[in-house]
Structure 1
């Protein structure tokens, strides 16, 4: 038996037809939510009026929550998977990040 580095739930089967199935619809909505969240992020960065910024920020947060819920649903149904990182890769990334942090003023703490 080959070891798999994938982290994934058992896949919920969907019909393999030319028509869109549940997985296709959810994936389409998830992609749309990601695009919308990115657009709201840009709008927040460019909002000069505080009340407008707060309104966009609130909508952005709702969009992020919706996106996360869709992602969780896809992962639960086995339609989204991850490749597990090995310990050596994690250690190297941690050391690299620690090196970057030590180069920042105040040891990485923003004032």
Structure 2
């Protein structure tokens, strides 16, 4: 199970915006009692990053917004069972978004 949240502090100038991001995530790994010595592990993954983007009006009441995120976590996560890697999450996450909006 994974859960996380982002906290952003943003500023804008005309159509351009930029944000500082903070992340706090939790990863819980549960294993079979017969196969694993440690049955449950919980890992905290704090991180920091940035978001930049633009908001463009395409008419009087609607437009599009594009953004890109780069988020660095405190460390990567790798879960392996013998020689088999079950999970490999890098310490850097990158994302993009494209959204349409309607102003009223």
TM exceeds 0.5?
Answer: no
Structure ranking higher in helix proportion: 1
Q: TM-score, normalised by structure 1?
A: 0.21
Q: Does 1 or 2 have the higher relative contact order (CA < 8 Å, sep 6+)?
A: 1
Structure ranking higher in strand proportion: 2
Greater gyration radius = 1
Q: TM-score, normalised by structure 2?
A: 0.22
